[in-house]
Amino acid sequence: MSTGKPKPVVALYGLTCCAGCQLEILNLEDDLLDILGHINLVQFRMGSSATHPGPYDVCFVEGSVTNEAELTRLKELRENSKILVAMGACATTGGVNAIRNGRNIEEFKQSVYGDASHVNTFPQILPLKSHVKIDYELQGCPISGQEFVEFLTALLTGAEPREKNYAVCVECRMKENVCLMKEGELCLGPITRAGCGALCPSLGFPCEGCWGPVPQANVESEIDMFSQKGASFDLVVRKFRMFNASAEEFMKQLKRRLNIEWL
């Protein structure tokens, strides 16, 4: 497809994370060269020593802001980008980085480093949208390469990217899976946004919620179902916090329902 229009200038950035989302893009082996033919990828530190100061038409950011330097970087990227996309659980719901939230960060640092005076890190990890305006979010831990391609295609063709405003359960039903909740498992599928194709439940593993909250998630009913299955208070909290400790939609209701001060 050549429209004669200049290719959009695209940047990929990583903040603190495992780099798995950038890797999912590199893992699109069949489509990678095709994608690179349609965009001008100018900044991709993990794969290129070339640098480009911007401005960018589209900038994808994975990872969490964990210190002042990263916050400054994110603000610069916002200034320099027409469209800023938060990519993956660390950027959209805090991911595993946010499990620290509400805990004693000084004790955490000390337990890992002993003398931790050289370690500079924020006690709370927030979604990128709490720091700067974010135009779009791609969810998942890691993101789905297929969703990335769909998103990019929409942007390139001028269409509005489609949000999946329904739960993992919908995808799971369409695959005609046996419901793991009915088998006694604690599955976050009913309140988690679709997009993964119900990957985990299809392979016999209950959903861990890495795509984040589906709009209007009935969190209270999910908590009640978990409790009826005999899940301890602690286990319910851990399930909700594994990838979503800074997803407000979950934490607010969890705090209210279980009356937890520190959340």
Partner 1 sequence: MALAKFDIHHIARVEGHGDLFVELKEGKEPRVEMRITEGTRLFEAFLRDHGHNEVSHIMSRICGICSHSHAIAALRAVEAAMQIEPHLQTHQLRKLQLIGDNLASHALHINFLALPDYVGARNVIEMLPKYQEEVQRALRLKKLANDLMELIGGRHTHALCAVVGGYTHVPTSSQLQSMRKRLQEAIPDAEAQIELMGMFAEPKLVRRSQYLAVKHAKDYPLYEGDLVTDKGLRVPESEYTSLIKERNVPYAHAKFSEVEGKPFVVGSLGRLNVAKDQLSDNAKRMTKKVGLKLPSYDIFQMNLGQAIEYLHYLDQSIEIIDDLLTQNLHADIVDYKTRSGSGAVAVEAPRGVLVHEYRFNARGRVLAADVITPTAMNYSNIEADVRSLSPVLQELSKDEAELRLNMLIRAYDPCISCSVHFVRTA
Q: Figure out which of the listed residues 1, 2, 6, 29 binds partner 1, where binding follows CB under 8 A.
A: 29
The helix/strand/coil state of 216 is: coil
Separation between Cα atoms, residue 213 and residue 112, nearest integer Å: 31
21 or 84: CB nearest partner 1: 21
**123 contacts partner 1 (rule: CB under 8 A):** no
Residue 80 or 218 with smaller CB distance to partner 1:
80
Q: Is residue 156 at the binding interface for partner 1, with CB under 8 A as the rule?
A: no
Give Cβ neighbours of residue 43 (< 8 Å, ≥ 6 apart). Answer: 11, 12, 13, 50, 51, 52, 56
Looking at 9, 11, 15, 61, which residue binds partner 1 (CB under 8 A)? 15
Distance CA 26, CA 21 (A): 9
Find the part of the chain contacting partner 1 (CB under 8 A) among 74-82, 96-104, 155-163, 253-261: 96-104
Shortest Å, Cβ 78 to partner 1: 19
Using CB under 8 A as the binding rule, whether residue 242 contacts partner 1 is answered as yes
User: Do residues 62 and 14 lie in contact, with contact meaning Cβ atoms separated by under 8 Å?
Assistant: yes
Residue 169 tokens, joined:
């359960």
Binds partner 1 by CB under 8 A, chosen from 9, 22, 138, 168: 22
CA angle, 212 as apex, 206 and 216 as ends, to 5°? 105
Q: Is 199 in the site for partner 1 (CB under 8 A)?
A: yes
- Give the range of 78-86, 151-159, 165-173, 195-203 binding partner 1 by CB under 8 A: 195-203
Nearer to partner 1, 73 or 159 (CB): 73
What is the torsional sign of CA 66, 70, 71, 77?
A: negative
Secondary structure (3-state) at 88: coil
Task: Work out whether 115 is an interface residue with partner 1 (CB under 8 A).
Answer: yes
* Residue 114 interacting with partner 1 (CB under 8 A): yes
Taking the complex as a whole, the smallest distance from the CB of residue 47 to partner 1 amounts, in Å, to 6
DSSP bridge partners of 136: 85
Those residues whose C-beta lies under 8 Å from the C-beta of residue 250, and which sit 6 or more positions away, are: 191, 209, 213, 217, 219, 240, 244
Q: Enter the tokens of residue 193.
A: 């946004």
Q: Which residues bind partner 1 (CB under 8 A)?
A: 14-24, 26-27, 29-30, 32-33, 36, 41, 44-51, 64, 66-67, 69-70, 95-97, 99-100, 103, 107-109, 111-115, 118-119, 121, 141-142, 199-200, 203-205, 208, 234-235, 238, 242
